Homo-oligomer: A and B are copies of this chain.
Amino acid sequence: MDDTAPSDVPLRLTAAHRQLLDQVLDKWSLQVLDALCEAPRRFNELRREIPVVTQKSLTATLRRLERNGMIERVVLSTRPVAVEYRLSPVGAGLQDLIDALYHWTANVLPAVDRARARFDGDTADGR
């Protein structure tokens, strides 16, 4: 993976980059990827694990992640049919990023809560 010249890149997100991030970092995708980072999962395992996702949203999310090459869909020829979803090599590269996001949120969450309380308290003054 040629990751040279990390300092002279424009460092602004282009449309193509944002489109990819939008398809991969949305609400449901994050949770699916988070689960698959741990181990491959079957469809209904994900459904149970993700709390309140509907079948429709989960299907759409899995299809989108598959289309973008983040996950692989493996049909096991058992009876009845079983389908397993697992991280692709490309998708596996997301582990570190999700990890970093997790640690960042964990660190700032207290400060964020304070900021929210402060903001919500400022309702009657000179805004």
A33 to B, closest residue via Cβ: B13
List residues of chain B with CB within 8 A of the CB of A53.
Answer: none
- Give which listed residue, B21, B37, B115, contacts A90 with CB less than 8 A: B115
A83-109 interface bits toward B, Cβ cutoff 8 Å, 1 = contact, 0 = none? 000001010011011111111111111
In chain A, positions 55-112 with a C-beta closer than 8 Å to chain B are 66-69, 88, 90, 93-94, 96-109, 111-112
B12 touches A34 (CB 8 A): yes
Report A's interface with B, CB cutoff 8 A. 1, 3, 6, 9, 11-13, 16-18, 20-22, 25, 27, 30-31, 34, 37-38, 66-69, 88, 90, 93-94, 96-109, 111-112, 114-116, 119-120
